[in-house]
Amino acid sequence: MTAILNPVDRHLVSRFTFGCTPALTRDVRRLGRTAWFEQQLRPWKVADTEATATRAWWPDLDRAPQDLWQRQITGVRPGWQVTADYAGWVLTRRIHSRRQVYEVMTAFWENHLHVPYDSDGWVWRMDYGSLIRRHALGRFDELLVEAITHPAMLIWLDGVRSTKAAPNENLGRELLELFTVGVGNHTEADVKDAAKILTGWRVDMWDTWEPFYEHEVHHVGPVRVGDFHHANADPDGRAVTHALLRHLARHPDTARHLARKLVTKFVRDDPPAALVRRLARTYLEHDTAIKPVLRELIASPEFAASAGLKLRDPEEDVVATYRALGARLERPADDDAATRSLLWQTGLLGSQLGSWPRPDGLPLTGTPWATTLRALAAADFHRTVANQWWPSEDHQISYPSLRSWVPRYPIRLDKLVDEVCRRLLGRPATSALVAAACLAVDLPGTEVIRDDDHPLVQWEMGTLLTALLDSPEHYFR
């Protein structure tokens, strides 16, 4: 019988990985839940050679922005293909990496400090992703300073166009409303002065794409943003920018805003106020460090009581499905490779990775994804991949053979469903799951499968897998 995790361990894994696999189950059982999580918080301690090597599959991801731009304008390779490469690499890492908590937290912060892949500053977008990844388990103050002053963010939210003569409020507004203190905790005057502070940060758009600081366009004069105030007398406003960002990162309203988002993402859609307060306090006591907050979160009774309450979003569904099926992605040979198909599939389910058009990032609650259209699209996606139709093995991907899901002969169908469920979903099959799977393949649970020639093994294993993937046990995490 396939080994599985106990419900408590499975709950932790369901929230802080992109889906359980037999290999992950072995790691957690070997180390124990707490030791496994602590090891995950130190990703450099987790060997991840296979996932790390995939970066070399896409050489354009490490080209300089000016090089990428020249290749686009001379017709060598358009930018949309480069950003699609980046999306393929992100999804590949989420599927194959053993550093699952690191991947989950990178995704969380990329969503919180959202910059679409195809924004005007796409040439800087891969570097921006690397910045987020470096700080994903570090300190929020350091992450915020680097993210807000990064060329990708400055271009996306119009910081590069903001001058003392015409301050653009877009970046200043989202800095306060989305990234730090949150809605209702700032005034229009705060937005205006935040915009003034952020003037001077520039990028040589459409030419070299080099970032620079232009003293002549920085607003000089006293500024106040909430309880932050500064003389701002120096035409070089980089110091006041950094001071504001560090102040905002340490603000109690920011602590509560971030805590609420973390609880919404990892606990439940209606975040318990008491847990939000405790996480905010931990965040402030540890000077914006992220790891202590995560430890507090997973140790909370609210987290323990929240199993099965979070619905996977489209990106999570796609990644979890490929992980569950044991698919192995390979170096892409062309634009029809499986790594590109993954990107299109996230779009078919409702949100193509990296394409969210607003600065607020993907919704963290389940309601936007709990629609009939999503369910129908997901059912078609699960059926297509479970049957290995698209992407097929002709497109640089390999799957375990459908026959390999049968562990032994002879075996009754109800026992087979349980074995497949343990391997696919990391849990035993409930009576409802057994009934649904038997109905899907139109056979009674007492049916005995004696060899590879049985019609179920010949023709319907993909249908059985699909029935399990279409269940709440897979949809929810």
pLDDT in tens, 256-312: 999 999 999 999 999 999 999 999 999 999 999 999 999 999 999 999 999 999 999
For the chain, give me the number of helices (H) and strands (E)? 25, 8
pLDDT on residue 143: 98
pLDDT in tens, 419-447: 999 999 999 999 999 999 999 999 999 99
Element holding 291 (H helix, E strand): helix 291-298
pLDDT on residue 93: 98
pLDDT on residue 274: 98
Cβ within 8 Å of residue 461, ≥6 positions away: 402, 403, 405, 406
Mean pLDDT for 23-43 is 98
- pLDDT category at 189 given cuts 50, 70, 90 is very high
Average pLDDT of the chain to the nearest whole number? 97
pLDDT on residue 323: 98
User: Would you state the torsion angle of the CA atoms of residues 382, 388, 390, 392, taken in this order, to the nearest 10 degrees?
Assistant: 160
- pLDDT category at 235 given cuts 50, 70, 90 is very high
pLDDT in tens, 70-114: 999 999 999 999 999 999 999 999 999 999 999 999 999 999 999
Mean pLDDT for 443-458 is 98
Measure CA 286 to chain center: 25
pLDDT on residue 1: 82
The token pair that represents 232 in the structure block: 């701002």
What's this model's pTM, rounded to 2 decimal places? Answer: 0.97
